[in-house]
Amino acid sequence: MLKAARWTVVGLLAVSVLVLVFAIGYVRGDAGGDGSPPANAASASAATDFSNLNQIIQILQSRYVDQGKLDRQTLYQAAINGMLQTLSDSGVFYVDPNTVKTTVGPSGTFDGIGATVSSQSNQIVIVAPIAGSPAERAGIKPGDIIEAVDGESTAGWTQEKAVLKIRGPRGTKVQLKVKHVDGREETLQIERGAIKVASVNTQPPGGVLKDGAGDTITDIGYIQIREFTETTDNEMQTALKDVVSTGKKGLILDLRNNPGGLLRTTRDVADEFLNNGTILTEQERDGSKTTYTATPGGAATDIPVVIILNRFSASGSEVLSAALHDNGRATIVGEKSFGKGTVNVSNNLKDGGQLYVSIAKWLTPKGKQIDEVGITPDVPVALSNDDIDQQRDVQLFKAIDILRGTNVAPVATPSASTVGTPAAATTAAAGSTPAAAPTAGG
């Protein structure tokens, strides 16, 4: 259980809107993270006169020829981001107030109606309702168009605006005017609820695990971890017990597009596979180190494991991969990972935003620093454009081959129903969440 005053997260910031699950890097939020500078920072800050920034904005507002391009808040945020970008550190970043409001926190839950949405052709379109959510119970379907929220037209709305309008405290109601795919229109009163975003998925791409020849595989387990939230370890225990109890001879752990999550959860998940050994070491800026080690009694300490990574696997997923690999518990397949190895502290700002600052680095069990380096797989396998077009998940096929001790060549043109879209083909930017990279949820 995480204490309110202190919580720890691992991963990249997923700049998200509604259902995008939090993923803020290997972040450690400490008590007193209110943005107040430490005492020894006073003299340094006094040497710089930041009033020049206000003067620049005032000059622009009074003299710039194209006043329509000026927005004080945009200029303000650009100044912050410009300052932070000079550090060239992916662990140092500013989160604007609206993103803070619409990002799912470390609990893996948020209050809303439970539907992912996107902005298409100036319309707010339902991508999918979350199973068991108020949206699903109200009859909302993929492809439905939200025409109005509480009587206000959504024409021209951004995802962010839709999210801010639709989300709200559980128990409150929101009125949606919906145009269904069949053309039927209706106005729905939906009571918002607590929406749980599952972090663990046991259904492989395409719904059934198949090898490169298209044959169904029943003796190997498959688990995808989307991110590490407060519930991930419990979800993993359930999934792992099923894998072990059904006599699977191996497990594929799919960490593609996983941007990270809670540090404690990441350690707990690693511990499910280890009886002993180092999980990771945290190195402070003064050189001091804290080492986290495994304890006996995990749910899957004997089953062979193959981990799949891609270039969007970051931080928490890299911690887990290195822990299992360096302790001889897993083979890694796929692409070199993102390379996020810093420890960050979160600070709440007066404007409602947040500032994350790198304060330490973490090391693999073998003492390696992976920041801006990444983890190189034992068996490199990249998805070609043809693989993506043909929905041919050669990384998954290779993982199966390794666990079975075979080398089954993929069929030339598998159907979509045979393989499904590889996870690596669905994300376009580092830090995105695998299930909802282009979407937002309510």
Residue 263: DSSP 8-state = H
- Give CA–CA dist 172/296, Å, rounded: 46
Amino acid found at 411: V
Annotation says 144 is catalytic: no
Helix (H) or strand (E) holding 9: strand 7-11
Does residue 341 sit in helix, strand or coil?
coil
Buried b (16+ CB within 10 A) or exposed e, 71-92: eeeeeebeebeeebeeeebbbb
Which residues have a Cβ under 8 Å from the Cβ of 369 and sit 6 or more positions away?
341, 361, 363
Does residue 315 carry a catalytic annotation?
Answer: yes
Q: Given 144, 326, 371, 387, which residue is catalytic? A: 326
Sign of the Cα torsion 43, 45, 49, 51 reads negative
CB atoms within 10 A of CB 386: 10
Number of other CB atoms surrounding residue 109 within 10 Å: 18
Q: Which of 340, 346, 387, 393 is catalytic?
A: 340
326 is an active site residue: yes
Burial of 438 (0-12, 13-18, 19+ CB in 10 A): middle
Burial classification of residue 25, based on how many CB atoms lie within 10 Å of its CB (0-12 exposed, 13-18 middle, 19 or more buried): buried
- Catalytic residue (choose from 119, 313, 315, 317): 315
CA distances from 160 to 14, 117, 164, 195, 440 (A): 14, 10, 6, 18, 8
Catalytic site positions: 315, 326, 340
